Amino acid sequence: MNTPLLVWIILAPLIGAILNAGFYFYHIKKESISDKVFSIIGTITPLIAFLITLCLFLQMREEGVVFTQTLFTWLSIGNLNIEMKLLGDNLAIFMSMFVTFVGWLIHIYAIGYMKGDNGFGKFFAYFNLFLASMLILVLADNPIILFIGWEGVGVCSYLLIAFYYSDKENVIAGNKAFIANRVGDFGFLLGVVTLFFAIGADSLSFSTIEANINNASTELLMLAGFLLFVGAMGKSAQIPLYVWLPDAMAGPTPISALIHAATMVTAGVYMVARFHFLYSGIEDIGTFIAYIGAFSALFAAIIATRQQDIKKILAYSTMSQLGYMFIGVGLGFYSSGLFHVFTHAFFKAMLFMGAGGIIIALHHEQNIFKIAQHRAQLPIIHFTFLVGVIAIAGIPPFSGFFSKDAILAAAFQDGEYLIWGIGMFTAFLTAFYMFRLYFIVFIAPSKHVAQYVYTSKTITIPLLILSIGAIGAGFLNFPAIFGGSAFVDTWLSQLNSQKIHLAHSTEYILMAASILVAVAGIVVAYKKYAKFDIYNPENEEGIIANKFYVDEFYDKVFVQTSKKVSTFIDKVVDDKIIDGFIMTVCNEFVSFGKKVATIQNANVRFYAAFMLVGMSCIFVYLYISLGL
């Protein structure tokens, strides 16, 4: 069904970005503009996008239609036609719903967090543009248009991570994110090109690719599927392209919340689900994706157990949870993986926003032990943070339990017992390091006399709304074993996801095991950290605390090697060989020219002598050639 509303989901935040950018330039050039103007534009436009998406969702649910909108033909070369076309099917509307809603709440939160900042208007311009880019990615009808949004979120992440560019470390973090994602994006582009030549179609819409997928050989499909996933590795921070994500915490906390909950890092999971028709036919690549997800989840969880920066702990937890999502989509349980994307958006946004509230209250302190030493009384943040920690730990009936348990059950049903075991151990570590964070920040004894610290309502109200989702969002896909309708699985039936069909007794045992490992993690964290001496913090040294020295390894192998190769090319190949050869030739020409110039001496007799010699030569030549 063609509708003009789809484009307005994108245009609403895009217009907000343009208006805020224009007002900001006017603000710095001519006269001051109130932050309220930027706030109103910055928050109303995401709300409009959400309301439009909600209307389309309700219509789709009632009438069972799929929305499309063709804007114009972007490229037409021979038989190849690429249209700027939007697709609002069940998957796109599902993603757009929580991206716009959670994104809107984060925008509201940003008003309080960024209050008084000199770049307030610029921040909201970037923020709106970030949301618009993600919506282009989600609503794209073909991978070329998807790539526009894919690159858009990459650029916006760079702008926002390096927002405080006067600090060199922030610029380095922004560059790191940008470069790491370029590696993944190169893989994504190669995957799209491979797919295009493999299917031999004259269009690159997802429907056309799906219809012609059988035209391609298995080998080319496997290559395309792998290359596309390389893009997902970069965008969704999986091994080995994850190193940018922890450093992305250099940006203001609202951008951390937006990246981790509603945009950017979820793009890779969405992309794999969007290409479900490709990955369903190449199970080996799907299994590879699942194993990368499993090892990424475990690796990040181990690192998180020894981190002391509150935002970096949450960053590694995001990488770990993304690993669970890739287990789900890699094994073909697309709706389960996307359901975890959905629930994760609520509790992860809430955790980051809660951390931001704490950071503001303590004048931008991020070390959890120093936060505990100067503990502030923040009752709403304390409550919502606890809700988020319980949800991510996977304790029922909080949302994280239902989505994570479905993925673990999927791995067990598929016979991937190693993945299941890794997932279970990661669940234990998740409960441990998240409650370690909670006990240190809020519970461990502190000598500081706690006093109530006022927090802006624009910070606390979004937290309370998100806490409702963190508690109850899991019931939207309440499993059939408990009499639920599994609404999300039904809504995403277009993906042809595999379904959980284990015996009820097996499901109960798996659920009980999942709960037990989470409770065990909480108990271990309680015994070690509930009465921890926060004035004698843990040693920051060691292989885990230093993130297994992966950054140092990458620096040595890739960065320093690239510098040496670049220096060699600059100093030897360019200066001595190329420039040396060119300059030698040039110098010889100059030398020859100088010698020739000696005969240009303006002496008439000298010229006459040359003429005489020349004419003599001509006469001699004619005499010989004519045989005279």
Q: What is the pTM of this model?
A: 0.91
| 80-84, 512-516, 525-529: range with lowest mean pLDDT | 80-84
Tell me which of 603 and 365 has the higher pLDDT.
365
CB-based contact 326:397 (threshold 8 Å): no
Looking at the predicted structure, is the pLDDT value of residue 148 above 90? Answer: yes
Catalogue the E-assigned strands of 14-111: 67-77, 80-88
Nearest to 350 by CA among 325, 378, 311, 381: 381
Task: Report the pLDDT value the prediction gives residue 453, as an integer from 0 to 100.
Answer: 78
User: Residue 335, by phi and psi: left (phi above 0), alpha (psi -120 to 50) or beta?
Assistant: alpha
Q: How many residues belong to the chain?
A: 628
Determine the Cα–Cα distance for residues 363 and 22; give it in Å rounded to an integer.
31
Q: How far apart are CA 472 and CA 307, in angstroms?
A: 30
**How far apart are alpha carbons 354 and 373 in whole angstroms?**
18
Query: What pLDDT is attached to residue 3?
Result: 83
Q: How far apart are CA 131 and CA 93, in angstroms?
A: 15
pLDDT confidence bin for 347, thresholds 50/70/90: very high
Tens digits of residue pLDDT in 560-585: 888 888 888 888 888 888 888 888 88
Q: What percentage of the chain has pLDDT greater than the value 70?
A: 99
Task: Report the pLDDT averaged over residues 110-127.
Answer: 91
- Unique residue bearing structure tokens 């020739």: 596
Alpha carbons 122 and 132: distance in angstroms, whole number? 15
> CB 32: neighbour CB atoms within 10 A?
8
pLDDT score, position 78: 74
- Output 249 or 469, whichever has higher pLDDT: 469
Contacts 24+ apart (CB under 8 A), 170-179: 170/250, 170/251, 172/247, 173/244, 173/247, 173/248, 173/249, 173/250, 173/251, 174/250, 174/251, 176/243, 176/244, 176/247, 177/244, 177/245, 177/247, 177/248, 178/154, 179/244
Burial 268-295 (b: 16+ CB within 10 A, else e): bbbbbbbbbebbbbbeebbbbbbbbbbb
pLDDT of residue 627: 66
